[in-house]
Amino acid sequence: MASPTLISDTEPWKELKAHMEEIKKTHLRNLMSDSARCQSMMVEFDGMLLDYSRQNVTLETVNKLYKLAEAAHLKEKINRMYNGEHINSTENRSVLHVALRAPRDAVINSDGKNVVPEVWKVLDKIQEFSERIRSGSWIGATGKALTDVVAVGIGGSFLGPLFVHTALQTDPEAVECARGRQLRFLANVDPIDVARNITGLNPETTLVVVVSKTFTTAETMLNARTLREWISSALGPSAVAKHMVAVSTNLALVEKFGIDPNNAFAFWDWVGGRYSVCSAVGVLPLSLQYGFSVVEKFLKGASSIDQHFYTAPFEKNIPVLLGLLSVWNVSFFGYPARAILPYSQALEKFAPHIQQVSMESNGKGVSIDGVPLPFEAGEIDFGEPGTNGQHSFYQLIHQGRVIPCDFIGIVKSQQPVYLKGEVVSNHDELMSNFFAQPDALAYGKTPEQLQKENVSPHLIPHKTFSGNRPSLSLLLPSLNANNIGQLLAIYEHRIAVEGFIWGINSFDQWGVELGKSLATQVRKQLHGSRTKGEPIEGFNFSTKTLLTRYLKASSD
């Protein structure tokens, strides 16, 4: 018998559907009272601890999820990824971001060729270049050292590097290495973003790094031309050679733009944009800011998780467990969202990065074979650091919709504050909330408890918490470059696991194309109307009305 195309046609899926009806009858309060169960839901790796005991699962559920993984051929799919097979079938590409952080002596093939030496050739070039810039041996057109960097890029060419940069900003070693330097990111084509980025910068001391996999992205290219103009109008056109470099897979377009190909840092089509932070996309700007040795630790952290993901049995495999639990929450419980709640201000850009990795990867409506999915795949990712989020959207999470939460905590603060006379340190205060919130969500508060507290009867419905809201906790020993790399790789692989189970292609992104092509039509119309007074044609009533108003009001 031919194997079913859709995972939802398999027996393990159907069994999980039926099992979910049983699980629904058990409150997390009861599940949490079984210490043996909780103990089995703690997984350790390299000093970090994952606790998934506050998920609506029993040991039976987890075993059924392993069966689902088997039915989805999860292990084979992971192997195919690591073996460089073209698992991104709609673009006919391998998916090898793991090769970007592999040790120098590793062998990872794509199309019959070991790609690791090429990866290290670029890493060595970045190390050499960043040392020249940082030491002042590469100087700008007027003889000044280039102390400031603006990285121009959007989407995957921006969000990952911004997340890592923001996280490293509190690591004492990284802070020391970054002394006297600035790194800024220009992503939005909104001229306000240009203004914000160049305010206070001197072109004489600025290096612009244009980051674009395709080197065709409209926003990035316009921003790159804007900064090229900023440099050449201040320092003359020849200054571009000293003040602009590029990161891209499209070296021909880099050269056409006017950047010396020797000052371009390559990557490859087997690196998806949203998985590119460990390529020159992230490594170059971050090495310029912090030095290559700090960034190398970040790469090593990611690589340690790549090994763990590849080799650990499923019951000890953090990305696999997280991926399976997400599928359980989304596809069986029907919870559409996931909140990412790091109790660490340094991780404030983590949720925005994971939003792209997850939603661009798994926001799909058809299977990898093009069959419409009879179930919802993907989830809505959002989040804020705690405790800020508690004072924003947690009300809804506690008493409104059920949103599975990821709580991420750090054992040791890198910037501790101990005030005399305070009950606890500032970090203990933060972490008190990290430990309290998952229990508030899981246990809730019953009307009976409220009655015992003599709460007025009319307030009891308002003060009742239903509880039974799933979360998981990930406790990291600290937040240095290594752990940041680990956290990134855990989420990258978790998202791949979800896609592998759902049977979708997590590595293409056709859904971003339609809007881009319609914008091309509008751009042409705006140009024609402004320069030749062409009438607005080819749009529906609504768009025509809006465009007419925009053109009229903006030319008044």
Residues in contact with ligand F6P by the rule CB under 6 A: 154-157, 212-214, 217, 220, 273-274, 360, 509, 512
The distance of closest approach from Cβ of residue 149 to ligand F6P in the complex, given in angstroms and rounded to an integer, is: 18
Q: Coil, helix or strand for 498? A: helix
The distance of closest approach from Cβ of residue 368 to ligand F6P in the complex, given in angstroms and rounded to an integer, is: 18
Between 134 and 213, CB nearer to ligand F6P: 213
Between 53 and 157, CB nearer to ligand F6P: 157
Please write down the HEC assignment for all residues of 223-275: HHHHHHHHHHHHHCHHHHHHHEEEEECCHHHHHHHCCCHHHEEECCCCCCHHH
Q: Which amino acid is at 58?
A: T
Between 273 and 503, CB nearer to ligand F6P: 273
The distance of closest approach from Cβ of residue 527 to ligand F6P in the complex, given in angstroms and rounded to an integer, is: 22
Q: Coil, helix or strand for 358? A: helix
Backbone angles phi, psi at 223, to 5 degrees: -65, -40
Show which residues are catalytic: 360, 391, 516
Strand partners for 210: 152, 246
Between 155 and 319, CB nearer to ligand F6P: 155
Buried b (16+ CB within 10 A) or exposed e, 390-404: beebbeebbeeebbb
Residues 6+ apart with CB under 8 A from 481: 168, 171, 173, 174, 290, 294, 295, 297, 298, 301
The distance of closest approach from Cβ of residue 472 to ligand F6P in the complex, given in angstroms and rounded to an integer, is: 28
CA distance 106 to 116: 7
- How many Cα atoms within 13 Å fall on the side-chain side of residue 481? 22
The distance of closest approach from Cβ of residue 418 to ligand F6P in the complex, given in angstroms and rounded to an integer, is: 42
Between 152 and 231, CB nearer to ligand F6P: 152
| Residue at token pair 């983590």 | 350
- Residue 488's closest CA among 319, 267, 289, 283? 319
The distance of closest approach from Cβ of residue 191 to ligand F6P in the complex, given in angstroms and rounded to an integer, is: 19
- Residue 219's closest CA among 149, 153, 156, 282? 153
Question: Do 299 and 283 meet the contact criterion of CB atoms below 8 Å apart?
Answer: yes
DSSP 536: P
CA distance 146 to 239: 12
- How many Cα atoms within 13 Å fall on the side-chain side of residue 122? 24
Between 28 and 277, CB nearer to ligand F6P: 277
Between 259 and 346, CB nearer to ligand F6P: 259
The distance of closest approach from Cβ of residue 475 to ligand F6P in the complex, given in angstroms and rounded to an integer, is: 31
The tokens describing 57, both together, are 């699962």
Angle formed at CA 215 by CA 254 and CA 128, multiple of 5 degrees:
55
User: Could you tell me where the beta strands, DSSP code E, fall in 125-197?
Assistant: 148-152, 182-186
Tell how strand 206-211 and strand 148-152 pair up.
parallel
